[in-house]
Chain A
């Protein structure tokens, strides 16, 4: 137990001298890194604009209120597109995520040395790149439109769904699988009767969870030209039509809240 000698009496302390010094230097280093980072941000900022910001914010606020309510009649189609991008994207992603997850899970992969790393690479590379970047890329390849948005959402979701799903597969109860195997079931029958029923609730939960996230993401995909309500947002921003911008933001907010509510309800019913 580390103690400190103080006027002849021993006082308890949490760490030894060495540990305390090490921690102190750790904190010093952390603070130094932060200060350097802040310095760089500060250097590339025009501080005049920042001091002027309250006036600008106030100006934008007066321009943006009240929202132009009658513009909502033109938003029906973009909202429908947004919903389609999210839903179809999620479905396509699940279609690919299931095999990838089975190949990536330690207990179902056919080869831990060859196939599992490939599946894990697919998961990490699709997951670490944002759907907006995928959309940018797909627009350069297959042209702007809803279809590019669907594919972008699908690619981005594969890694996410497959990761959660393979973790669920690795956590299954092995005794059930053994019981099915003991009846003489083939590999596919073991899959269908031993593994799938165990992960089905997790699968449904993941699907709805990702759908909720995809609704959020597909509302902004239009900013780069991939369809949906973001397209209206970006064109309104480009012509500085702030009353329309505020209405679109309200619609997006409502869509996000509704989708979160739906996903919470469905997940509550499953689990």
Chain B
């Protein structure tokens, strides 16, 4: 009685690392396709190496500017822009979070009836597919220059992000707790408030903090298209080759983002 085993074939042969893609046809297809694409891509990129070489000097100056950032000579503009960015971030985060909670509830299949679900998922899909900067261009065209357009853009983007993740969290919740509340004769609001909300609240707070962080980062570029915030100041600094001012603004942005990340780390650790 001889049973043929896979191990018998391997005996005496050297061990070889298993491949990441096991199907050899697919593996070689991917490799060949990748190389062909790389050749095509690199061939079609036009790089003006002379211009790049000239620019290296300016690049070095920019890096040097980080060692002596100039916060002072444009302090007024920087302060105005930064304050506007923060104001937009706060207002848009509050409004965005408030709106995204009902939409998130509507986009969770285990809570919402089908028509509501479809509408809410539609809103989420539209908001996620359009990038902030494109929304900002359209809103600036419609509402005029200024932080209102930026505020609306960030609120709109927050809705797509937060509703989707909130809905996914609600869909993954523990049904038993919600059913227990329902069995006690709770009304719909009470059911949501006592059965669903306690389960998703820690994650909602964590995601909201993360979104505030993203909103601040995004508010820094909205100024490029006239939607308010620090971006306009930064753009002017680059255009005038005032690298020391630009470095100062970038350091401020990085600093605030780091502070926000640290803060959201503490808050998330506390609620979870």
A residues engaging B (CB < 8 A)? 30, 33-34, 37-38, 40-42, 44-46, 49-50, 53, 56-57, 60, 80-81, 83-84, 87-88, 124-125, 128-130, 132-133, 136-137, 140-143, 145-147, 150, 193, 200, 204, 216-217, 219-220, 223-224, 237, 249, 252-253, 256-257
CB-defined contacts of B44 to chain A, threshold 8 Å: 80-81, 84
CB-defined contacts of A60 to chain B, threshold 8 Å: 138, 141-142
Contact A130 B217 (CB under 8 A): yes
User: For the complex, what is the distance from the CA of A223 to the CA of B136, rounded to whole Å?
Assistant: 12
Contact A124 B254 (CB under 8 A): yes
Instruction: Output the least CB separation between B168 and chain A (Å).
Output: 14
Contact B129 A87 (CB under 8 A): no
* B78 contacts partner chain A, Cβ-Cβ < 8 Å: no
CB-defined contacts of B231 to chain A, threshold 8 Å: 133
Return the contact of B235 from the options A136, A142, A217 (Cβ within 8 A): A136
CB-defined contacts of A137 to chain B, threshold 8 Å: 62, 238, 246
Contact A50 B129 (CB under 8 A): no
B residues engaging A (CB < 8 A)? 17, 20, 37, 41-42, 44-48, 51-52, 55-56, 58-59, 62, 83-84, 87-88, 90-91, 94, 129-131, 133-134, 137-138, 141-144, 146-148, 151, 217-218, 220-221, 224-225, 228, 231, 234-235, 238-239, 241, 246, 250, 253-254, 257-258, 261
User: For the complex, what is the distance from the CA of A3 to the CA of B45, rounded to whole Å?
Assistant: 72
Contact of A56 with B142 at beta-carbon distance under 8 Å, contacts A40-B84, A84-B45, A146-B45 already known: yes
| A83 nearest in chain B by CB position | B41
User: For the complex, what is the distance from the CA of A50 to the CA of B205, rounded to whole Å?
Assistant: 32
CB-defined contacts of B130 to chain A, threshold 8 Å: 253
Return the contact of A146 from the options B46, B146, B151, B254 (Cβ within 8 A): B46
Contact A53 B254 (CB under 8 A): no
User: For the complex, what is the distance from the CA of A199 to the CA of B253, rounded to whole Å?
Assistant: 32
User: For the complex, what is the distance from the CA of A39 to the CA of B90, rounded to whole Å?
Assistant: 12
User: For the complex, what is the distance from the CA of A264 to the CA of B256, rounded to whole Å?
Assistant: 33
Contact B87 A224 (CB under 8 A): no
Instruction: Output the least CB separation between B212 and chain A (Å).
Output: 13
Contact A141 B59 (CB under 8 A): yes
Contact A143 B48 (CB under 8 A): yes
Instruction: Output the least CB separation between B64 and chain A (Å).
Output: 13
Contact of A46 with B144 at beta-carbon distance under 8 Å, contacts A141-B58, A143-B51 already known: yes
Instruction: Output the least CB separation between B238 and chain A (Å).
Output: 5
User: For the complex, what is the distance from the CA of A171 to the CA of B261, rounded to whole Å?
Assistant: 21
Contact of A136 with B234 at beta-carbon distance under 8 Å, contacts A44-B147, A50-B148, A223-B225 already known: yes
Instruction: Output the least CB separation between B172 and chain A (Å).
Output: 16
CB-defined contacts of A220 to chain B, threshold 8 Å: 131, 133-134
User: For the complex, what is the distance from the CA of A45 to the CA of B238, rounded to whole Å?
Assistant: 26
Instruction: Output the least CB separation between B257 and chain A (Å).
Output: 4
Extra pairs beyond A40-B87, A224-B224 (7, CB < 8 Å)? A30-B94, A37-B88, A41-B151, A56-B141, A60-B142, A80-B44, A133-B231
Contact B46 A257 (CB under 8 A): no
User: For the complex, what is the distance from the CA of A249 to the CA of B56, rounded to whole Å?
Assistant: 35
Contact B46 A141 (CB under 8 A): no
CB-defined contacts of B41 to chain A, threshold 8 Å: 83-84, 87-88
Instruction: Output the least CB separation between A219 and chain B (Å).
Output: 7
User: For the complex, what is the distance from the CA of A256 to the CA of B125, rounded to whole Å?
Assistant: 11
CB-defined contacts of A193 to chain B, threshold 8 Å: 17
A-B contact pairs, 17 of them (CB 8 A): A37-B91, A44-B84, A44-B146, A44-B148, A46-B146, A128-B257, A128-B258, A129-B253, A130-B221, A132-B221, A141-B59, A142-B51, A142-B52, A145-B48, A200-B20, A216-B131, A220-B134
User: For the complex, what is the distance from the CA of A143 to the CA of B52, rounded to whole Å?
Assistant: 7
Contact of A44 with B228 at beta-carbon distance under 8 Å, contacts A33-B90, A50-B144 already known: yes
CB-defined contacts of B91 to chain A, threshold 8 Å: 34, 37-38, 41
CB-defined contacts of A41 to chain B, threshold 8 Å: 87-88, 91, 146-148, 151
Return the contact of B218 from the options A53, A130, A249, A257 (Cβ within 8 A): A130
Instruction: Output the least CB separation between A188 and chain B (Å).
Output: 14
Instruction: Output the least CB separation between A229 and chain B (Å).
Output: 11
| B147 nearest in chain A by CB position | A41
Instruction: Output the least CB separation between A238 and chain B (Å).
Output: 11
Return the contact of A223 from the options B133, B143, B151 (Cβ within 8 A): B133
CB-defined contacts of A57 to chain B, threshold 8 Å: 142
CB-defined contacts of A136 to chain B, threshold 8 Å: 224, 234-235, 238
CB-defined contacts of A33 to chain B, threshold 8 Å: 90
